[in-house]
Chain A
Amino acid sequence: MPAVSKGDGMRGLAVFISDIRNCKSKEAEIKRINKELANIRSKFKGDKALDGYSKKKYVCKLLFIFLLGHDIDFGHMEAVNLLSSNKYTEKQIGYLFISVLVNSNSELIRLINNAIKNDLSSRNPTFMCLALHCIANVGSREMAEAFAGEIPRILVAGDTMDSVKQSAALCLLRLYKASPDLVLMGEWTSRVVHLLNDQHMGVVTAAISLITCLSSKNPDEFKTCVSLAVSRLSRIVSSASTDLQDYTYYFVPAPWLSCKLLRLLQCYPPPEDGAVKGRLVECLETILNKAQEPPKSKKVQHSNAKNAILFEAISLIIHYDSEPNLLVRACNQLGQFLQHRETNLRYLALESMCTLASSEFSHEAVKTHIETVINALKTERDVSVRQRAADLLYAMCDRSNAKQIVAEMLSYLETADYSIREEMVLKVAILAEKYAVDYSWYVDTILNLIRIAGDYVSEEVWYRVIQIVINRDDVQGYAAKTVFEALQAPACHENMVKVGGYILGEFGNLIAGDPRSSPLVQFNLLHSKFHLCSVPTRALLLSAYIKFINLFPETKATIQEVLRSDSQIRNSDVELQQRAVEYLKLSSIASTDVLATVLEEMPPFPERESSILAKLKKKKGPGAVSVELEDGKERGELNGGGDRGGDAAIAASNASTPSPSADLLGLRSAAPVSGTAPSAGSLLVDVFSEAGPAASSAGVNDDGFLSSAPPSAASEDPAPPLPESDELLNKFVCKNNGVLFENQLLQIGIKSEYRQNLGRMYLFYGNKTSVQFVSFSTIVSCPGELQSQLNVQTKTVEPLVEGGAQVQQVINIECLTDFIDAPLLNIKFRYGGALQNISLKLPVTINKFFQPTEMAAADFFQRWKQLSQPQQEAQKIFKASHGMDTEVLKAKLLGLGTALLENVDPNPENYVCAGVIQTKAQQVGCLLRLEPNAQAQMYRLTLRSSKDTVSQRVCDLLAEQF
């Protein structure tokens, strides 16, 4: 057989490739490429018509340059010209160029489709295949529209050559996957099924992929394929190793076709027809028998091909889940593989056994391999194999072996790879809970988990242990004792402190009788950890302390002392400060009765599905949506649980004691952290329906409305915006309400509502001191360009703000056209004689004027395509700076103001949104796509809109949100 010589046929190409390879640096390469591009450009533009050979050569060079990673912006026309050549080599290069560098340039698509059409009707099988391959490679909607009718005819026509049938079948599959609406079922469908009987094995191999896809979508219509597939499979399985000649691979008859046939059968339940079913069971038995036969070759190709069929057969057996005999045989076979010297086989056996473990027929058989699997977990070199072993242990776990498996997993955790620790932790936590016979074992397990892998113990896990301890009074004393002991360790994980704080706060009394864990000892132990902990943990500990005061009156003085210390009561963190102040007050003014009521033991939690299980489901993929929601709810409840007893009662008891940061604006209840517009918006609807008409007529100047009033009170220039004002602005991109700014004197809260191109914002200025602010004035200004883009009107505020009082200011905003900068808010006042001068950016961003737009997938992609010019798109790839929780992402995207479109992106991990930005001058349609990559902790954000500045701005704004 003649070997192909280097660059055969195109010397110039070979020389060029050699030149590139000889380039010593990237610069040299670019230089050489630019030289070549200039040369090709001049050839294409030259007066002399190029012959087909030269055109082919140059197009091929362009393709090579493109594949090196350089942009190619010409040559498409020449490539299209090549399509109509009648020489194969020229046509091939033309089609290749089109397939690799396709873009939806409508002009060209028409020409390309024309050329394809000619080739499809040429009756030249080589040309037909080239054309079909091009369609299959590009698979665009335009091509589907042009050829979805034609290709089925070619596929089932009696005189079509075998190779063309193969290509036509897969070409049609591609079109069906890309545009199922355009491929219409018809008379051809029944004839396609009969391709399973085709005598050409290649045709069957190609056609079966199409049939499998069609069957999975329309099982009833293609039901007849089952018996055909069974008889085809039966013929292959029972053939001798040389019968199938060309299709025998290392003594295995038609391995790929066998796998595809077995996979097709997995689209259907077991055959109802007894004869068909009998024949199929016979096939499956034969396949299992063959696995026991001595190999016909020592080559790994032989055993791989054989085992490919075996694993596919086992998949089918598991899919049917109705033949106990086959299930057990499958399990035994896999059991042999568990100790095979080939890592691949051990891996696949572990994986496959995992599904067998869930069948009632084979669960027990799987369990007999526990020692081997534990050994695999300990000794396998490849982490992915260990991961499968852990999965299998989890799957085979039941009451009889839970203790052993949990112990093994725990000991594995000590050295486990970082990549799988979190999942392992979840699994251990779930198994411990699910199979806990006595809850002391459960508590031990979870505390061990925190000790060994505290960093990987998520909130769900430690919430859950607390939930269970609270609900089971038989384990509370044990839990208190164990956690007390665990806290003795000199370095213990913060999660341990959390659990310890909570449990001792609730049940510390159960061990207080022992002088070694007397109340004061308990408190000192907890407090010794305090300073090393993060703010949320400290907050939890403070709640534990107030509970101690109730449980053990003898600790009151010590704890009050701690609460009273400057580091608590003057803590710079508002939450801690508030807790310290309130708890101190509560402990000193409330009677013991009140205290006992307020700080009563937590009531049992309502039983529902474990939040950890939900988390694991989430990690593991779809099907857990409903659970996820519950997870969120439960988290809220548990999270607040620590404070619920305290805070709620405190709010009641000290309603008359104003605390500086206590919900100055009543915002905390109105606006959840993620602040989606609808929930908070409803509050303002009434206000707005009145104000709407007035605000919408631009230029209204009631007495109270002052358009960008000049500074009257203070002579000093407004301060430059605070360095953090951009960050503050970013906080409000996806929410409308919240605290914009706060320092020791002043708190500024915001509520806002947007309709069409209008917005109304309420600013609340709270004086946190007990002294009045004088000469209080605010100015809202639109610097530079913004002046012509936004119309902002403010009402003046009273120049006096009493100590502890709050004043309100209304701002009306009209968006004239799209904008980038934010209006500036300057606040000046005198406090104790000193002038305060603060400038901030008002969180008015272009996305506030979004109207959500619902649309179907087809519409979305059509519009997406329409916005394909480079300047219409803005894209950012960035690292996640927060967690990648689905619900949070969704809330943020909704908060942005767009509609979150479900079931549009083929990848369920991605998010797509659509909205129209309403400005007075125009409406700007905007499409958004956010692609999270959980593994890399990265996002890619793509914005397309009819206006480049809008795409860019929204992209910039949103990129800061994740």
Chain B
Amino acid sequence: MHIRLHTLNQSIRFILIQNRAGKTRLAKWYMQFDDDEKQKLIEEVHAVVTVRDAKHTNFVEFRNFKIIYRRYAGLYFCICVDVTDNNLAYLEGIHNFVEVLNEYFHNVCELDLVFNFYKVYTVVDEMFLAGEIRETSQTKVLKQLLMLQSLE
């Protein structure tokens, strides 16, 4: 019998969206880090992810965790999870999120994330909360976002 104890207790540590130059377009933290630490993590993630090519896996070991990432045009979407977490589920979690952004911003581009950074946080919170997947239905998420959009 394989016993898992600590491993089930935390999934997403952070979500990062970075462009190829390393500029952060979204940083969502689910663990306590101080500002220096965050900056360091951001740089490290950029360093490990950007050297990989399309033939590589979408997973990289990262400190005691792993990064599941996917590149969309010039943007890297990265999720840092526990080493025992389900790689493909988070990989598709990223894609699901990107499809929602694409629908919400009508063909999303990097600039949408820059100018509407405060709305991107809302989208994230609808889909991921407390480091867990909150909602996976694109229809439900978009319906909710449109409702919020209509509010003053």
Contacts and interface: CB of A to CB of B under 8 A. Distances in A.
A321 B11 CA distance: 24
A384 B57 contact: yes
B25 to A, nearest CB: 10
A52 to B, nearest CB: 10
Nearest to A263: B8
Interface stretch (A253-261, A403-411, A522-530, A798-806): A253-261
B134 A166 contact: yes
Contacts of B56: 343, 381-382, 384
Counting contact residues on chain B (CB < 8 A from A), the size range is 35 or more
B57 A385 contact: yes
A6 B111 contact: yes
B50 interface: no
B135 A7 contact: no
Contacts of B152: 87-89
Contacts of A381: 55-56
A110 to B, nearest CB: 21
A441 interface: no
Q: By DSSP majority rule, is chain A's interface helix, strand, loop, or mixed?
A: helix
A64 interface: yes
A181 interface: no
Contact of B112 (A4, A21, A170, A312): A4
Nearest to B38: A69
A269 interface: yes
Nearest to B114: A17
B89 A308 contact: yes
A560 interface: no
A312 B105 contact: no
Given A171-B130, A249-B136, A343-B56, A311 B88 contact: yes
Interface residues of A, number: 85
Contacts of B106: 1-4
A201 B89 CA distance: 17
Given A263-B86, A301-B95, A382-B55, A21 B125 contact: no
B9 A177 contact: yes
Interface string A1-24: 111101110000010010001000
Given A7-B116, A212-B8, A321-B2, A249 B96 contact: yes
A202 to B, nearest CB: 5
Contacts of B88: 304-305, 307-308, 311, 344, 348
A205 interface: yes
A877 B39 CA distance: 13
Given A126-B151, A173-B132, A384-B59, A301 B92 contact: yes
Contacts of A60: 118
B142 A1 contact: yes
Interface string A107-146: 0000000000000000000100000010011010000000
B148 to A, nearest CB: 7
Interface in B39-72: 39, 44, 52, 55-61, 63-64
Contacts of A960: none
Contacts of A1: 103-104, 106, 142, 146
Interface in B118-146: 118-119, 121-122, 125, 129-140, 142, 144, 146
Contact of B1 (A126, A173, A269, A311): A269
Interface string A379-390: 001101100000
A269 B36 CA distance: 43
Most chain A CB neighbours (cut-off 10 Å) among B27, B36, B55, B133: B133
B137 A202 contact: yes
Contacts of B8: 212-213, 216, 263, 266-267
25 contacts: A2-B106, A4-B112, A6-B111, A6-B112, A167-B134, A170-B134, A171-B130, A202-B134, A202-B135, A202-B137, A206-B133, A206-B135, A212-B8, A245-B139, A266-B4, A267-B4, A301-B92, A301-B95, A304-B88, A305-B88, A308-B86, A319-B1, A347-B59, A384-B57, A384-B60
Q: A-B pairs with the 3 shortest C-beta distances?
A: A3-B106, A308-B88, A174-B130
Given A133-B129, A139-B130, A205-B134, 20 more contacts: A1-B104, A3-B107, A17-B115, A63-B118, A87-B151, A136-B129, A166-B134, A166-B135, A177-B9, A202-B136, A202-B140, A205-B135, A245-B139, A246-B138, A249-B136, A256-B133, A260-B133, A269-B1, A308-B89, A344-B87
